[in-house]
Amino acid sequence: MIITEVEARVFLTTTHRHSDSAGHAHPGPAHQVPQAMLTIRTEDGHEGHSFTTPEIIRPHLLDKFLRKVLVGQDHRDRERLWQDLAHWQRGSAAQLTDRTLAVVDCALWDLAGRSLNQPVHKLIGAYRDKVLAYGSIMCGDELEGGLATPEDYARFAETLVKRGYKGIKLHTWMPPVSWAPDVKMDLRACAAVREAVGPGIRLMIDAFHWYSRSDALELGRGLEKLAFDWIEEPMDEQSMSSYKWLADNLDIPVVGPESAAGKHWHRAEWVRHGACDILRTGVNDVGGITPAIKTMRMAEAFGMDCEVHGNTAMNLHVVAVSKNCRWYERGLLHPFLEYDDGFDYLKSLSDPMDADGFVHVPDRPGLGEDIDFAFIENNRVA
């Protein structure tokens, strides 16, 4: 059970996803990007793995923090190891981020599952083995036939309904799109999608993250007329009082915070101050599966739903062990991309979705990621 090694392997993976100047993904030509796999190994040869981008587990972090906390410790002591890393963040000169805590925590959960030959959600205590997914559409763009017009969104929404999705979330247009942001265009896209899919499909929006209170209110009021289920991140989440104001002035549920720092502690403040109607957590946003579950259980104690941000196995397991969330966020999706093609370093999808819109939690041990170790070795660059 004692951890003996903490290793990062960097390899090249091919993707069609390109990040814009705001960090949002859009489709483009296939290109190779570096990806990293963290491996935590024990004296008896068991291993746990988790994926991230290389800078999140760069050598400085492994040497200065991760190996000092983890090596020599019982890998089963996840709560203590997480607390030790979280306490070290304050004195890390902002080098030890929640993303790094997340990849370590996920590798430890994967290690626990692989060593016991159990999937993580069964180890934690499953609530379900399948869950409805909503199709989370990429931010809008200016690509001909992509997501450049309200009609493009409507046409893509029809495609997603045919694929089986029972819910769809629009990320609308944001800078660097030349004319964005634009509340009226957001509402035109939402109206076109509602018209295309009818009243039976649940719809949500994840809007420009820096609207003013007035713009967010206008957007929310328009969405209420379109029977949207929630409005997400329309303003800067650093202003909790703005979200309290918005939630007090809207009927449509306000979901958050997604990107605000502070893990489950800050999300407790959002609940206490009435800054959201539905809470939000995410493994990468709060520093791991461990704090994501803390957030989920805290929301449950207040009778609140808590929706999980993001795809991949780590977030799917948080959804699978929780009654008080309704969806798995499957995406991000675009007409030019085939999400079901998955990743070249995994032999199969971690979030396969059936024709009825249900994602099935893999029953493979650990996080259940079907890792192609040979691919990683053959494409390794560090």
Ligand X SMILES: O=C(O)[C@H](O)[C@@H](O)[C@@H](O)C(=O)NO
CB nearer to ligand X: give 115 or 172: 172
Identify what 187 binds: Mg ion, ligand X, none; CB under 5 to 8 Å per kind.
Answer: none
Q: How far is the CB of 132 from ligand X (least distance, A)?
A: 16
Q: How far is the CB of 178 from ligand X (least distance, A)?
A: 19
CB nearer to Mg ion: give 290 or 311: 311
Structure-token pair, residue 230: 């929630």
Contact positions with Mg ion (CB under 5 A) in 195-214? 206
Residue 333 has, within 13 A of its CA and on its CB side, a CA count of: 24
Asked whether 174 and 22 are in contact (CB, 8 A), the reply is: yes
Q: How far is the CB of 136 from Mg ion (least distance, A)?
A: 8
Asked whether 279 and 295 are in contact (CB, 8 A), the reply is: yes
Identify what 23 binds: Mg ion, ligand X, none; CB under 5 to 8 Å per kind.
Answer: ligand X
Residue with tokens 């942001």: 181
Residue 110 interacts with Mg ion (CB under 5 A)? no
Angle at 331 between CA 40 and CA 101, to 5 degrees: 30
Q: How far apart are CA 326 and CA 134, in angstroms?
A: 10
Q: State how far Cα 53 lies from the chain centre.
A: 15
| Beta pairing, strands 230-232 & 202-206 | parallel
Q: How far apart are CA 311 and CA 330, in angstroms?
A: 5
Q: How far is the CB of 310 from Mg ion (least distance, A)?
A: 9
For ligand X, the nearest residue by Cβ is: 24
Q: How far is the CB of 211 from ligand X (least distance, A)?
A: 14
Choose the stretch contacting Mg ion; rule: CB under 5 A; options: 24-32, 86-94, 252-260, 265-273. Answer: 252-260
Identify what 113 binds: ligand X, Mg ion, none; CB under 5 to 8 Å per kind.
Answer: none
CB nearer to Mg ion: give 111 or 318: 318
CB nearer to ligand X: give 9 or 267: 267
Summarize as ranges the residues that interact with ligand X (CB under 6 A): 23-25, 136, 171, 206, 258, 309-310, 329, 332
Angle at 283 between CA 102 and CA 249, to 5 degrees: 140
Tell me the sheet residues that pair with 130. Answer: 360
CB nearer to Mg ion: give 119 or 256: 256
Closest CA to 324 of 356, 288, 292, 351: 292
Q: How far is the CB of 191 from ligand X (least distance, A)?
A: 21
CB nearer to Mg ion: give 206 or 351: 206
Identify what 24 binds: ligand X, Mg ion, none; CB under 5 to 8 Å per kind.
Answer: ligand X
Identify what 168 binds: ligand X, Mg ion, none; CB under 5 to 8 Å per kind.
Answer: none
Tabulate helix, strand, coil % of the chain (nearest 5).
40, 25, 40
Residue 186 interacts with Mg ion (CB under 5 A)? no
Three-state secondary-structure class, residue 366? strand
Residue 258 interacts with Mg ion (CB under 5 A)? yes
Identify what 277 binds: ligand X, Mg ion, none; CB under 5 to 8 Å per kind.
Answer: none
Q: How far is the CB of 21 from ligand X (least distance, A)?
A: 12
CB nearer to ligand X: give 86 or 174: 174
Per-residue DSSP letter, 380: B
Asked whether 320 and 126 are in contact (CB, 8 A), the reply is: yes
Q: How far is the CB of 252 from ligand X (least distance, A)?
A: 16
Structure-token pair, residue 183: 């509340």
CB nearer to ligand X: give 253 or 310: 310
Q: How far apart are CA 334 and CA 139, in angstroms?
A: 9
Q: How far is the CB of 278 from ligand X (least distance, A)?
A: 12
- Angstrom CA distances, 324 to 132, 247, 278, 296, 300, stand at 13, 20, 10, 7, 6
Q: How far apart are CA 233 and CA 169, in angstroms?
A: 12
The number of residues that bind Mg ion (CB under 5 A) is 2
**Binding site residues, Mg ion, CB under 5 A:** 206, 258
